[in-house]
């Protein structure tokens, strides 16, 4: 089961890491994705749980949802796309 771990950056600001094992098995590879916003991390955790402990389709690690052939999103828009999922 995916879960959210709260971390403290060197600046003192929090970050939120979603952690899970591929396929949910004890021997599955550990996966993680980090967010600045707790709500975004919780939504992503729910997506991972809903997809059988796998990366959600069309999610690119560190980028968010990206469809093949689309231009890269500006940094200011990354991670905001899935908020409506």
How much is the mean pLDDT over the chain?
Answer: 86
Place of tokens 């550990």: 30
Q: What is the pTM of this model?
A: 0.76
Residue 6's pLDDT is: 98
Rounded CA separation 7/15 (Å): 5
Rounded CA separation 51/45 (Å): 10
Cβ-contact 75, 54 below 8 angstroms: no
For the chain, which residues make up each domain, given as ranges? Answer: 3-84
Mean pLDDT of 43-60: 95
Residue 13's pLDDT is: 96
Rounded CA separation 68/65 (Å): 10
Confidence class for position 85, pLDDT limits 50, 70, 90: very low
Cβ-contact 4, 46 below 8 angstroms: no
Rounded CA separation 85/78 (Å): 14
pLDDT, tens digit, for every residue of 16-42? 999 999 999 999 999 999 999 999 999
């Amino acid at each position: 089961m995916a879960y959210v771990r709260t971390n403290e950056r060197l600046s003192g600001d929090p970050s939120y890491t979603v952690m899970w094992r591929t396929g949910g098995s004890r021997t599955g590879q550990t996966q993680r994705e980090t967010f600045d916003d707790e709500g975004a991390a919780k939504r992503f955790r729910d997506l991972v749980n809903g997809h059988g402990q796998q990366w959600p389709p069309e999610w690119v690690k560190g980028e968010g949802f990206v469809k093949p052939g689309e231009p890269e999103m500006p940094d200011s828009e990354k991670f905001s796309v899935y908020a409506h999922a």
